[in-house]
Amino acid sequence: MTDSLSRVLKAIKPLDESAMAAARKRQDSLTKPLGSLGRLEELSIKIAGIRGEPMPKLEHKAIVTMAADHGVVAEGVSLYPQEVSRQMVLNFLRGYAAINVLASQVGARVAVVDMGVIGGFPPNPGLLCRMIDFGTGNMALGPAMSRQQAIDALEAGIEVVEAEMSKGLDIVATGDMGIGNTTASSAICAVITSEPVEKVTGRGAGIDDEQLMHKVDIIKRALEINQPDSKDSIDVLAKVGGFEIGGLAGVILAAAAHRIPVVIDGFISGAAALIAAGLSPQVKDYLIAAHVSAEAGHRVLLDFLGLRPLLDLEMRLGEGSGAALGIFLVEASVNILAGMATFNEAGVSEAEIPMEAKQSEEGG
């Protein structure tokens, strides 16, 4: 393990309990029935613990959308040709994709990162080049990448977050682009959660029943050939992962190390979270699951990580589209915490506690 990755892993600490206690105390004193804003209250308290601030502000927001190609596409696991990965990155750079629209809606910037798209791109001020290689190897024939490439992908994600911090970064969201990446994500999910391949493999961009059976067979073949070690996240990433999945895992780790909340998008971001949590279980406390997607394995991996999705909109686009909506809810939660008046500040009478409850509290 290299110095950069080791440094980040050592820097990931537990949430700030004192900040959470202060945030909880304020939530309980705001002008509303106790707990009436439900999970928005929980969210604000969690963000306080992540940021180490009783009343955090989320002024600077970024969505990191990473793109890469996958060699396993040669096995016919996707409806779309491989060149769509490159075409969609160009669409991101022109500002015409769903992620551009939704990021603008929530006031977030989009950092588009080329982690290994076949063909590459001409220089573009809107594109970060962190290319590991021109796509992964075909995992149905052998490892998707070398162990060193897996580490390089993780470190590229770390570098992206630390560069974004220089522009101001209070919250980060993850997004992806890469034809074939649900195949890699299903393989990662099956290995780490120990669930059957059939249970965690979905239709991706919309394959039919026969193609789905073929996709399951290809993943099983990849797992049989490569024998990834479920206890070694870097091995799993190297054997059956993707460069953008490794990069997003690095984004998650770096954000946690710097006490920045991470809003994860769909199935591919979830696979990256599995890799990151395998390297540092503490990282799970820094994750907010924006939504549960229509992909079969997404709910499985969220349950494994102990995360409750904020939304269930049957989305399966990727790009960071669901994460953008998650940012909106997170920001709403902290704005409530800071912006609402307490009963005392507003001169509003609080709920009366029954005498029996008072006596119970006084008695311990």
41 to each of 25, 31, 32, 35, 276, how far by Cα in Å?
11, 13, 11, 7, 27
- Give residue limits of the domains in the chain: 3-55+337-349, 61-331
- pTM, entire model: 0.95
CA 58 – CA 341 distance, rounded (Å): 19
190 to each of 7, 163, 183, 220, 271, how far by Cα in Å?
29, 33, 11, 10, 10
What is the layout of strands, in order, in the sheet containing 262-264? 127-129, 109-116, 61-68, 171-177, 262-264, 287-289
Residues 6 or more apart in contact with residue 355 via CB below 8 angstroms: none
pLDDT digits (tens, 9 = 90+) for 242-285: 999 999 999 999 999 999 999 999 999 999 999 999 999 999 99
Which of 88, 81, 98, 95 lies closest to 66 in space, CA to CA? 88
Walk along the chain (364 residues) and give the pLDDT tens digit of each residue: 678 999 999 999 999 999 999 999 999 999 999 999 999 999 999 999 999 999 999 999 999 999 999 999 999 999 999 999 999 999 999 999 999 999 999 999 999 999 999 999 999 999 999 999 999 999 999 999 999 999 999 999 999 999 999 999 999 999 999 999 999 999 999 999 999 999 999 998 889 999 999 999 999 999 999 999 999 999 999 999 999 999 999 999 999 999 999 999 999 999 999 999 999 999 999 999 999 999 999 999 999 999 999 999 999 999 999 999 999 999 999 999 999 999 999 988 887 766 565 555 555 5
173 by DSSP, 3-state: which? strand
Catalytic residue numbers read 319
Rg (CA), the chain: 21
Written out in words, the top-level CATH class of the domain with range 61-331 is alpha beta
Contact 219, 231 (CB under 8 A): no
CATH of 3-55+337-349, one of 3.40.50.10190, 1.10.4010.10, 1.10.3720.10, 1.10.1610.10: 1.10.1610.10
**Quick one: pLDDT at residue 352?**
72
Any idea what the Cα angle at residue 156 is, between residues 151 and 157, rounded to 5°? 100
CA 292 – CA 294 distance, rounded (Å): 7
Phi-psi sector, 227: left (phi>0), alpha (psi -120 to 50), beta: left
DSSP code of residue 62: E
